[in-house]
Structure 1
Amino acid sequence: MTVLRSAGKNKNNKDKGRNVLLHQCATATLLFGLGAAVGASDLRANELVPPAFEIAQQENDNQDKFLILQTNLHPPYQELQNGLLGGYSISVLNCAFERIGVGYGLAVAPRQRNRDMVRSGRADGFFLARISDFMDEYAVATHPLALEKWVWVSPSSNVVSSKARHLPKPGEFTTIGAILGSNEAEWLSEQGYEDVMRVPSIASLVSQVAAGRVDFALVDKQSFEIARNDLGLGAEQFLVQFERYAPLVVYFSKRYVETYPDLLGKLNNVLEFCETRPMHLEPWERDAIERIQLPIVRQFAKSKDLIRNVRAVLGTEHIPSDQKRVIDEEWTALSRRGLASSMAQNILDNILSDYLQTFKNTAGAQVAEVFVFDLAGQVIGMNRLTSDFDQSDEVQYQMTDSINRDHALIADIRYDASTRTFLSQITVPIIDPESGRTLAALTVGLDVSAALRPES
């Protein structure tokens, strides 16, 4: 049964601040009741929408947890689609809230206003935001929903090309641009960039760069490409240089988390099932991994100490498929809660895992995880708890075939819940130097936010 209530009479909007939230949105599309969408077909990004909303909310046990999240238009993450608010992050949140059975609403406003409303307690949360110490003072972050690739965009004209070939540094005499109130603008301020030109939209910023009025703009690569195409500008008009990856999260107000302390954990537990779009490695990224990290992984896979420890833990008994499935199910269920099954704990305590932990500590922040699985796809050593036990259904399992002994598999970027980082996994076979046969396979998960920074 669906019950209609006006915004002002919803029993969850107990304070005037919530009503103000609904009324003050510059533009608003509200999604309610486990992902159902309500919107005006003539909604525009810069129009004011009168405060005439109704809430269609599912009657369920989690009704009291109904919340309003603030957001902003930021294609392709949040964008208007036929008058409704959609995009990648919206689809992920719809999936996650439906899985935990909690109704939620969305209100669109400028980025800075969204932050202010959460800080002042007039909103339950907002997205997408980068993780920052400043935000952590008054809000609590979820696991990442998306990964932005920040790039410096500059004109490719001959007038400025000579000075655009390097990345700008704080204090240099150059014009830096960013979107008003954006994650990038905040980061620039923290890094010491002064007199940043802040413009209201990505389209305006790209136009300023194309016209030569901005030397460098720091933007998300996907958003830049969409705006450039919408403006009818060619890729040859710009020089694009990578700066960093930025994980993006939902921030919930501490007040809401204190009121409903179990919701954040439930949401984090299901987000991994709703992330549907891995980021493909660009040619330069794959080349960097092949040139820098892959040789290190190959050398480690050939080390005498690793091979000795692998031999020491390799089992001689074949685990029946039905028993392996039971082990994997228990392992996976407990790992989602940060707990180790008895099998997982035994593996964590073996000498191979100790050796892998030493390698991880030596490698530093660029390596997020390292584990070894045998020819049956079973994890036999790991520096930390993996999300599952059986790797035989994963693409990297092909590395256990001896015909692949000279190959390596470099996977695209995806979010890994067990390490809470965005990873690109390198998998190589571990070869017996005496027989030339494959003993097992080694997977090293690179934290791309650290491994692919320019200074790395």
Structure 2
Amino acid sequence: MDAALIMKIRLAGLLTVMVSAVSQAQPPALNLYTFESPPYQMANQEKGGANRVYGETADTVVCAANRSGWETRIRITPQNRAIHALERNMIDGYFAIDPSAELDNIAKRSDPVALEKWYFFTRGDQPFTDTPRIGVVDGSNEEAWLEANDYSVFLSVTSASQLLALLKRARIDAALMDERVMNGLRLENGDPGMVLERHFVRYAPLYLYLGESFTSSHPEFLGNFNRMLNSCMAGHLALSDEEEHLIRMLSERLISNISSILDIPQIIASGPRQESFTDVMTQDSMWQALAPSGSTQLADQILDLAGSRTLHDWKVAQDGVVTEAMIMNNMGTLAAMSRLTTDYWQGDEAKFQKVLDATRQGLRGIDALYISPIRYDASTSRFQVTVSAPVSPISDGVPLGVLMLGLDAEEALRALERRP
């Protein structure tokens, strides 16, 4: 055989192998639908005419999918069309939507991919009655929620900007929408010429639904995707300045209340304590290996303490506002807890470290309070804020311990909204 021909055959074979390797190295693509909702999901036309979908929620989904080994292809489409496509397995998934009994029957739901803050917006010169004329965007999550909760919708419109105009003309009494969507409208349209009042309704967790065909073919994807969500959502779930102020007020009241019931320094002084950091790590490893379905002998001992039982009873009495309570000593290990935690040693976490940072800077008492960002707690299926404060006395900038309360973010703000 001619040497040149042999060389061409070898090169062709090498090229085939290289193309195959590149093809195999490319991650699979996840085909998703969503809907237009700035600043969460928006379409931007790129060079070549293709639309790129971006925004906080879209970026979160892309991030979690990429970290799970998948690329994403996202299209903006009306909700009815998206649900039709998902039912017939024409797409892999659809986001960002409220929980749906209809979709729960045909698809698998992820952990939340976004958290919206819904308010009734009303004119400042009109009272907010029990039977307002409510306006909402047609086909939106807000409309579905209103209907599911037996509200009467007065007007459905095609865009959020129409709701602002209807409020201005007093055609409706209240518009239900996400806080940031309204803020964006007011910034875009300038001063609407009226004062708006806000009435907190709910935190609305929104989800990715994956079709049955996709989850059957890729059963490992959803677990991997969920594990990546909290890190991909970091920074998107911050409390507003007003919300943080309200949470601080509530926290001061709760901490004062529990401190009047419990002798927290005595609980720390009499609680279990390890001799060395090595012992702490040993106990923590055993603890984590069993929790949350099982408990070590040390965990059972702490749960059985009078302080832990009082924390539990006090938490239950807070009507869902408090999700957990714990007391840590100055090593960051647990001295009392309202329920079994996933870790024995809390000393490496922000709820402990931030308080230590504050006391080392000379802050004391409630001035050293740390309020965390909002975080989804998969164990309770709630969005939670943790608040932690130092326990006196403080020696050389280090407190005797730290008191931590977990708050259901939605219930906390609703409780504050109900206060006169």
TM over 0.5: yes
Gaps of 5+ in 1: 1-56
Equivalent position SS for 2:318: helix
1:73 matched to 2:36? The reply is: yes
When residues 423 and 387 of structure 1 are mapped into structure 2, their CA distance, relative to the original with a 3 A threshold, is farther
1:217 matched to 2:175? The reply is: yes
- 1:355-403 Cα offsets, whole Å, 9 max, x none, are 4333333323211222222212334443232468343452643535495
Residue 264 (structure 1) aligns with: 222
Residue-pair matches, total: 381
Residue 340 (structure 2) aligns with: 384
Residue 440 (structure 1) aligns with: 401
When residues 140 and 449 of structure 1 are mapped into structure 2, their CA distance, relative to the original with a 3 A threshold, is farther
Equivalent position SS for 2:231: helix
Which residue, 300, 312, 317 being the options, matches 1:357? Answer: 312
Query: What is the correspondence of 1:173-212 to structure 2 with a 5 Å cutoff?
Result: 174-212=132-170
Query: What is the correspondence of 1:223-302 to structure 2 with a 5 Å cutoff?
Result: 223-234=181-192, 236-302=194-260
Which residue, 93, 102, 106 being the options, matches 2:61? Answer: 93
Residue 406 (structure 1) aligns with: 365
Query: What is the correspondence of 1:422-433 to structure 2 with a 5 Å cutoff?
Result: 422-431=383-392
In 2: Cα distance, 1:278 partner to 1:254 partner: 29
When residues 78 and 364 of structure 1 are mapped into structure 2, their CA distance, relative to the original with a 3 A threshold, is same
When residues 228 and 255 of structure 1 are mapped into structure 2, their CA distance, relative to the original with a 3 A threshold, is same
In 1: Cα distance, 2:148 partner to 2:158 partner: 20
Question: 1:288, CA displacement in angstroms?
Answer: 3.4
In 1: Cα distance, 2:298 partner to 2:225 partner: 25
Question: 1:270, CA displacement in angstroms?
Answer: 1.4
2:41 counterpart letter in structure 1: Q
Gaps of 5+ in 2: 1-21, 47-51
In 2: Cα distance, 1:313 partner to 1:300 partner: 18
In 1: Cα distance, 2:286 partner to 2:59 partner: 29
Residue 24 (structure 2) aligns with: 59
Residue 107 (structure 2) aligns with: 139
Report if the CA contact (8 A) 1:399-1:405 is conserved. no
| C-alpha RMSD over aligned residues | 3.5
1:409 counterpart letter in structure 2: L
Report if the CA contact (8 A) 2:273-2:333 is conserved. no
Residue 13 (structure 1) aligns with: none
Q: Higher helix fraction: Structure 1 or Structure 2?
A: 2
Equivalent position SS for 2:319: helix
Equivalent position SS for 1:151: strand
Residue 104 (structure 1) aligns with: 72
In 1: Cα distance, 2:410 partner to 2:142 partner: 15
In 2: Cα distance, 1:148 partner to 1:259 partner: 31
- 1:105-155 Cα offsets, whole Å, 9 max, x none, are 212101232233323443332111123444433333211122111111233
Question: 1:213, CA displacement in angstroms?
Answer: 2.4
- 1:8-53 Cα offsets, whole Å, 9 max, x none, are xxxxxxxxxxxxxxxxxxxxxxxxxxxxxxxxxxxxxxxxxxxxxx
- 1:273-294 Cα offsets, whole Å, 9 max, x none, are 2112254434543443344443
Equivalent position SS for 1:294: helix
Residue 14 (structure 2) aligns with: none
Identity %: 24
Which residue, 90, 111, 118 being the options, matches 2:86? Answer: 118
Residue 452 (structure 1) aligns with: 413
Question: 1:95, CA displacement in angstroms?
Answer: 1.6
Report if the CA contact (8 A) 2:122-2:167 is conserved. yes
When residues 200 and 284 of structure 1 are mapped into structure 2, their CA distance, relative to the original with a 3 A threshold, is same
Question: 1:178, CA displacement in angstroms?
Answer: 0.7
**TM-score (norm. length: structure 2):** 0.77
Question: 1:102, CA displacement in angstroms?
Answer: 2.3
In 1: Cα distance, 2:294 partner to 2:364 partner: 32
Equivalent position SS for 2:387: strand
Over alpha carbons, which structure has the higher Rg?
2
1:448 counterpart letter in structure 2: A
Equivalent position SS for 1:228: helix
2:233 counterpart letter in structure 1: E
In 1: Cα distance, 2:150 partner to 2:300 partner: 48
Question: 1:309, CA displacement in angstroms?
Answer: 3.8
